[in-house]
Amino acid sequence: MKSGMKIAVITSSLYEKDGWGRYSLNLLKALGGEGIDTTVISSDRHAGDFSAISMHRILGRGLKNLFTIPFDIFYLRRVVRDCDLVHIFTEPDIFVGAFLGKPYIVSTHGTYALRYLEKRVTRSIARRLFESATGIICTSKFTCRKMSIFCRLPQTINVPNGVDTEHFTPGMERNAAPFLITVGELKPRKGQDLGIAAVEILKKKYPSIRYYIVGNDRNDFGDNLRRMAEKKGLSENVIFAGSVDEGELLNYYRRSRVFLLPSRVDASGSFEGYPLSIMEGNACGLPAIGSFGCGAELFIIPEKNGYLIQPEDIDGLIHAIEMIIEDPLRYRQFSDSARALAEEFSWKKNAQKLVEFYHRAVNHENKN
């Protein structure tokens, strides 16, 4: 399919070891397969394997770099001159992408869209920028419902993130021991501390239990989690894998039995809007346990591919883990359902929906 469109893409990351980076890399590949000509703009030094795509660097992003934004805008207006549309992949970049003199659409993932709408100092400008967008891509209806409290959203389309089901596949034989996994940067909202607390109790019944914590751990919360695990005598049971590439990540998924994301709304109001890692785990046949009140509700169907618990409910988390690992028939059914659900999502289908939305967005602007 040749769309004949040229899109400027702004993203904060092209690094496969973080969530935004994997989103950007996978979607860019899929858009290229649909004939979209892309000019990529990023503050990230990682270019992935996009050496053939026009890459442009910006000095900073979001409101953290107030003094560089005017220079970025001046430079990028020339870069996007021949583009039909600007697609802002990551919400903080709206403060640059909205001023490039082109119609723009924004992908909304979760916390960051709400952060600017909730804070008094940025609320007014953030509301105007989201309302002035030609369109909003909702990777999670949960996030858009929260955004609609603060602003009137323009035309929207729900396009949940995809998963590469050809890469993320179940292994030949899964470890029979109760190996658990959480994937994502170590942050309070992801609830890795609740996973450790659950492992402390479960260890009495399952001495061989392992809990893989995969993701960037170079922060204070990561240090706190390490001290927590050591204090509870779980140094052999809790494995901090750090940031890994997709090959290593696949291996961690395949040696695990249950995916955990016991998320919460943290002290700053941050929440899990779209947990891409649940879909990756599903594609590998992992039953999942997540929390109510976040984007996990989109991917976890209780009694089908996992369970949803109330935030902070350690007893509920432990019970859900035991329900999954102690019943081989239930486990097999949940695992099969998880894989089947993942196969309903693909980056190719996402790209096809976006190409249609791009055309609607440009036609809408031309009529105005």
**Strands of the sheet with 54-57, listed across from one edge:** 54-57, 37-42, 6-11, 85-88, 104-108, 135-138, 156-158
The reply to whether the predicted model has a pTM over 0.85 is: no
Phi/psi region, residue 56 (left: phi>0; alpha: psi -120 to 50; beta: rest), is beta
Average pLDDT over the chain, rounded to an integer: 88
Contacts of 56 (CB under 8 A, 6+ apart): 39, 40, 41, 42, 75, 76, 79
**Pair of tokens at residue 189:** 């909202």
Q: At 63, is the pLDDT very low, low, confident or very high (cuts 50, 70, 90)?
A: low
pLDDT value at residue 113: 79
DSSP states of 151-181: S---SEEE------TTTS---SS--SS-EEE
| CB atoms near residue 253 (< 10 Å) | 26
pLDDT in tens, 154-163: 888 888 888 9
Q: What is the pLDDT of residues 132-142, one digit of tens each?
A: 999 999 887 77
170-174, 178-182, 326-330, 346-350: least confidently modelled range? 170-174
Hey, which residues does 291 pair with through a beta bridge? Answer: 309
Which residue has tokens 């960037």?
A: 216
pLDDT of residue 46: 61
Q: Which of 98, 123, 251 is nearest to 183 (CA)?
A: 251
Contact predicate 292/306, CB 8 Å: no
More confident residue, 14 or 327: 327
**Distance between alpha carbon 208 and the CA centroid of its chain, in Å?**
31
Q: What is the pLDDT of residue 323?
A: 96
The per-type count for the chain, helices as H runs and strands as E runs, is 13, 13
Closest CA to 88 of 79, 97, 80: 97
What residues have CB less than 8 Å from 46, skipping those under 6 apart? 13, 14, 15, 16, 21
pLDDT given for residue 270 in this prediction: 76
- What is the reported pLDDT for 141? 78
- Worst-scoring range by mean pLDDT, 36-40, 122-126, 146-150, 171-175? 171-175
pLDDT band at residue 52 under the 50/70/90 scheme = very low
Q: Is pLDDT larger for residue 57 or for residue 296?
A: 296
Tokens standing for 30? 């899929």
As a whole number, mean pLDDT of residues 47-76 equals 65
Q: Percent of the chain, pLDDT > 70?
A: 91
How large is the average pLDDT for residues 89-101?
A: 92
CA distance 14 to 47: 6
- Assess contact for 272 and 140: CB atoms under 8 A: no
Alpha-carbon torsion (189, 190, 196, 201), positive or negative: positive
Each residue of 262-320: pLDDT tens digit? 999 887 777 787 688 999 999 999 999 999 988 888 889 999 999 999 999 999 999 99
Tens of pLDDT, residue by residue over 189-219, are 999 999 999 999 999 999 999 999 999 998 9
Domains and CATH numbers, the chain: 6-162+346-367 (3.40.50.2000), 179-343 (3.40.50.2000)
Distance CA 186, CA 221 (A): 6
CB atoms within 10 A of CB 105: 26
